[in-house]
């Protein structure tokens, strides 16, 4: 089972058709069997021979200069000249990315592994907070959820580019720049740039509030706010942003100071040109818009790609960014981990690329949106949104208090503050992954740090407890390998083994759904099975004898490793003591 899964996984990762698994092939033990299978399948077709003849005839070479695998054609007992057969088969061989073209040398066919198999590339955009704005709950979720596909794909052999999109900057950035002129302070910026930029931004937001309220009121009265918006602070901000987009050096210098960047300006202009030329977008009073209803996407309605004052907007910048990534990475797949509120925005982006046709349409087919719901109830401390560092300090403290309750254990923890921090982060993350991505959930520090229910602390505890068992039995890896598994015949032990056997399926399924909760649910089932087993399957001083102790310790170690792998994959750091 493991072998055929491995072969299928490998084939699907490489975008190739699945491989047959021949008699005697055991790729999980011997990866070369994968190459043997590729060669066998192709040769069986070309030579019209039974695969069972070819497979065992593919031998390793006596010296590396003879290649990696070699086939003596006479061994196959075919009619005709083996020299001619070798030559014609080599010529007819259609290639897999795994091997180089085979070479016929006399009566031999020689095969060489391809040493530079190109790994597939995936770009995963997640987190993506806005410059000079709060890192809010939506970004936190994107960060937590986005780490997961990154680890999954990386673990499956993909070259993984994790990226943070700092592209949503037009209006905020203009305001920030205006504010910098009023409130900016070199020294404060130097000491703590983020905090200072945030202060500067908070100040301008306060100044801007009455103005914004004015727009809203005018909008409600049904008035056109465009004129209002071109005045006041927002007018200044927009003018500044326009100068920046026009390439004004002074405006750009400040931008670089804050972000250090070159904008996707040219690409955006190129994309806009294509959109206009193909009649996808249209001019409208100085603005450029796309009426999706004309392109068979009624739901997407109408959207601007360029504002009336000539500045680019969020959508156009995303088009530019997507194409720029395509140029930079030429990736095979791209995932956007972005909250569900932006579903329409992203659907528009993907539709536009699709409409652009050719390589852009091909790019659109590579993109997937991994969406997620809201976090409710993140109360305020300073400003309107709870800061991530405040949250992490709070959960860390809560966990530290819990740890201190057991003095004995607490004394044995090496760096209790660090462990408390890790537990706190796990608490936040596990709560986030408890439900399906699309569900909203209530941010609740009390609940997430509790040991009741399937929360982060309990998962960490389950892992730490298994570590403690291994410390107590103190068996070496070699000793555990000697375990006699026939001694594991109690229902609890069998239950654990059956549960452990589900892990590969759980993983395979998760690879498709990218639902973190699937793994988490599985890990909790495992921890429940474990906690009901400890009294029955005693290890230290098991009355059944030493051999039973070893077998059970090996079983618990397998469970520990599974929990460890599942946690790491989910971005959690398992602790050994707590």
Give the neighbor-by-neighbor strand order of the sheet with 302-306.
Answer: 281-284, 287-291, 302-306
* 3-class SS of residue 164: coil
The nearer residue to ligand ARG, 149 or 424, going by C-beta atoms, is: 149
E strand intervals along 377-445:
441-442
Of 293, 288, 352, residue with least CA distance to 318: 352
- Minimal distance, residue 322 CB to ligand ARG, in Å: 8
Question: Cβ closer to ligand ARG: 93 or 336?
Answer: 336
Residues binding ligand ARG: what is the number (CB under 6 A)?
8
Nearest approach, Cβ of residue 336 and ligand ARG (Å):
6
Return the closest-CA partner of residue 156 out of 13, 8, 28, 336: 13
CA distance 138 to 130: 11
CA angle 294, 298, 301 (to 5 degrees): 85
Question: In the chain, what is the greatest distance between 2 CA atoms, to the nearest angstrom?
Answer: 93
Q: How far is CA 232 from the centre of its chain?
A: 43
The DSSP secondary-structure symbol of 287 reads E
Rounded to a whole number of angstroms, the CA Rg of the chain reads 30
Q: How many CB atoms lie within 10 A of CB 388?
A: 17
**Selected range binding ligand ARG among 125-133, 247-255, 352-360, 451-459, rule: CB under 6 A:** 125-133
Q: Please pick, from the candidates 148, 165, 292, 503, the single residue that binds ligand ARG as defined by CB under 6 A.
A: 165
Residue 288, φ and ψ in degrees, nearest 5: -120, 130
For residue 430, what are the CA distances in angstroms to 441, 447, 457? Answer: 12, 11, 9
Burial class (CB in 10 A: 0-12, 13-18, 19+), 491: exposed
CB-nearer residue toward ligand ARG: 443 or 503: 443
Separation of alpha carbons 246 and 485, rounded Å: 73
Tell me the closest approach of the beta carbon of residue 176 to ligand ARG, in angstroms: 14
Q: Which of 382, 360, 338 is nearest to 139 (CA)?
A: 338
Helix/strand/coil for 261 = coil
Is residue 229 involved in binding ligand ARG (CB under 6 A)?
Answer: no
Q: Which is nearer to ligand ARG, 370 or 459 (CB)?
A: 370
Which residue's entry shows tokens 């793994």? 519
- DSSP collapsed to 3 states, 160-174: EEEECCCCCCHHHHH
Which region, judged by CB under 6 A, interacts with ligand ARG, from 123-131, 155-163, 480-488, 489-497?
123-131
336 or 503: whose CB is closer to ligand ARG? 336
CB of 67 to ligand ARG, least distance (A): 47
**For residues 554 and 487, what is the distance between their CA atoms, to the nearest angstrom?**
11
Chain position carrying tokens 């904008």 = 263
State which residue, 110 or 325, has the beta carbon closest to ligand ARG: 325
Say if CB 43 and CB 89 are below 8 A apart: yes
* Separation CA 311–CA 187 (nearest Å): 32
Which residue's CB is nearer to ligand ARG, number 198 or number 336?
Answer: 336
Fill in the per-residue mask, 524 to 543: x = in contact with ligand ARG (CB under 6 A), - = not in contact: --------------------
Q: Closest separation between CB of residue 146 and ligand ARG, Å?
A: 11
- Could you tell me the two tokens for 245? 């987009």
165 or 503, CB closer to ligand ARG? 165
Least distance to ligand ARG, CB of residue 350, Å: 11
Non-local CB neighbours of 332 within 8 Å, separated by 6+ positions:
15, 120, 121, 122, 158, 366
Catalytic residue among 85, 133, 463, 492: 133
Of the residues 28, 88, 130, 347, which one makes contact with ligand ARG according to CB under 6 A: 130
Using the contact rule CB under 6 A, the part of the chain among 63-71, 122-130, 201-209, 468-476 near ligand ARG is: 122-130
Determine which one of 136, 238, 351, 492 is catalytic: 136
* Residue 425 interacting with ligand ARG (CB under 6 A): no
What mask of x and - would describe binding to ligand ARG in positions 344 to 383, judged by CB under 6 A? ----------------------------------------
Site for ligand ARG in 302-321 (CB under 6 A): 318
Which range touches ligand ARG (CB under 6 A), out of 32-40, 124-132, 187-195, 403-411? 124-132
CB of 255 to ligand ARG, least distance (A): 16
**Can residue 128 be called a binding residue for ligand ARG (CB under 6 A)?**
yes
Question: Do residues 493 and 552 lie in contact, with contact meaning Cβ atoms separated by under 8 Å?
Answer: yes
Residues of span 468-527 touching ligand ARG by CB under 6 A = none
Distance CA 343, CA 144 (A): 19
Residue appearing with tokens 């528009």: 348
Quote the least distance from Cβ 130 to ligand ARG, whole Å.
5
First and final CA of the chain: distance in angstroms? 37
Question: With 0-12 CB in 10 A as exposed, 13-18 as middle and 19+ as buried, what is 448?
Answer: buried
Question: Least separation, in Å, of the C-beta of 369 and ligand ARG?
Answer: 10
Smaller CB separation from ligand ARG, 230 or 324: 324
Q: Binding pattern to ligand ARG, positions 263-302, x when CB under 6 A? A: ----------------------------------------
Closest separation between CB of residue 489 and ligand ARG, Å? 54
Which listed residue (42, 168, 229, 272) binds ligand ARG by CB under 6 A? 168
Provide, rounded to whole angstroms, the least separation between the CB of residue 364 and ligand ARG. 14
Interface with ligand ARG (CB under 6 A), residue from 6, 57, 338, 523: 338
Active site residue 136: yes
Question: Which of 128, 160 has the CB closer to ligand ARG?
Answer: 128
The 3-class SS string of 468-525 reads: HHHHHHCCCHHHHHCCCHHHCCCHHHHHHHHHHCCHHHHHHHHHHHCCHHHHHHHHHH
The one catalytic residue among 45, 66, 139, 298: 139
Any idea which residues carry the catalytic annotation? Answer: 133, 136, 139
Residues of the shown chain interacting with ligand ARG in the complex, contacts defined by CB under 6 A: 125, 128, 130, 165, 168, 318, 336, 338
């Amino acid at each position: 089972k493991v072998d055929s899964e491995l072969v299928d996984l490998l084939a699907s990762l490489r975008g190739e058709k699945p491989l047959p698994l021949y008699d005697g092939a055991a790729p999980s033990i011997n990866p070369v069997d994968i190459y043997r299978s590729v060669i066998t399948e192709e040769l069986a077709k070309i030579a019209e021979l039974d695969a069972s003849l070819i497979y065992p005839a593919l031998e390793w070479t006596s010296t590396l200069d003879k290649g990696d695998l070699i086939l003596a054609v006479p061994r196959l007992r075919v009619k005709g000249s083996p020299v001619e057969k070798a030559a014609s088969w080599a010529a007819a061989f259609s290639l897999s990315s795994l091997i180089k073209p085979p070479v016929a040398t006399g009566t031999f066919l020689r095969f060489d592994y391809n040493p530079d198999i190109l790994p597939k590339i995936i770009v995963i955009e997640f987190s993506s907070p806005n410059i000079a704005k709060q890192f809010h709950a939506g970004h936190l979720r994107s960060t937590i959820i986005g780490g997961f596909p990154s680890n999954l794909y990386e673990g499956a052999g993909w070259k993984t580019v994790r990226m943070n999109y700092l592209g949503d900057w037009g209006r905020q950035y203009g305001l920030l720049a205006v504010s910098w002129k009023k409130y900016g302070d070199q020294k404060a910026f130097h000491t703590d740039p983020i905090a200072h930029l945030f202060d500067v931004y908070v100040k301008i937001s306060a100044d801007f509030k009455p103005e914004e309220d004015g727009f809203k009121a005018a909008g409600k009265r049904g008035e056109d706010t465009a004129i209002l918006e071109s005045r006041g602070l927002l007018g200044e901000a927009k003018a500044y942003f326009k100068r920046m987009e026009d390439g004004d050096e002074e405006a750009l210098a400040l931008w670089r100071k804050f972000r250090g960047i070159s904008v996707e300006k040219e690409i955006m202009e190129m994309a806009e040109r294509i959109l206009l030329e193909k009649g996808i977008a249209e001019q409208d009073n100085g603005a450029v818009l796309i009426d999706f209803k004309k392109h068979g996407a009624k739901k997407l309605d109408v959207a601007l790609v360029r504002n009336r004052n000539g500045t680019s907007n969020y959508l156009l910048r995303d088009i530019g960014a997507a194409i720029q990534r395509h140029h930079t990475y030429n990736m095979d797949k791209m995932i956007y981990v972005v909250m569900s509120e932006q579903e329409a925005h992203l659907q528009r982006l993907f539709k536009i690329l699709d409409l652009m046709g050719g390589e852009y349409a091909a790019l659109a087919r590579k993109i997937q949106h991994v969406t997620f719901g809201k976090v409710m109830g993140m109360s305020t401390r300073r400003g309107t949104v709870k800061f991530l560092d405040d949250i992490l300090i709070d959960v860390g403290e809560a966990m530290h208090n819990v740890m201190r309750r057991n003095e004995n254990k607490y004394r044995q923890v090496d760096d209790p503050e660090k462990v408390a921090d890790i537990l706190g982060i796990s608490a936040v993350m596990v709560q986030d992954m408890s439900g399906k991505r699309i569900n909203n959930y209530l941010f609740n520090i009390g609940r997430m740090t509790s040991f009741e229910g399937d929360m982060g602390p309990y998962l960490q505890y389950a892992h730490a407890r298994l570590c403690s068992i291994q410390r107590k039995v103190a068996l070496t890896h070699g000793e555990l390998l000697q375990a006699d598994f026939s001694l594991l015949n109690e229902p609890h032990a069998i239950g654990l083994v059956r549960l452990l056997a589900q892990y590969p399926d759980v993983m395979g399924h998760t690879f498709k759904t990218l639902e973190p909760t699937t793994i988490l649910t599985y890990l909790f089932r495992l921890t429940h099975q474990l906690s009901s087993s400890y009294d029955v399957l005693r290890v230290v001083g098991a009355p059944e004898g030493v051999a039973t102790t070893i077998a059970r310790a090996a079983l618990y170690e397998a469970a520990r490793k599974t929990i460890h792998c599942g946690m790491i994959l989910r971005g959690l750091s398992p602790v050994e003591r707590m």
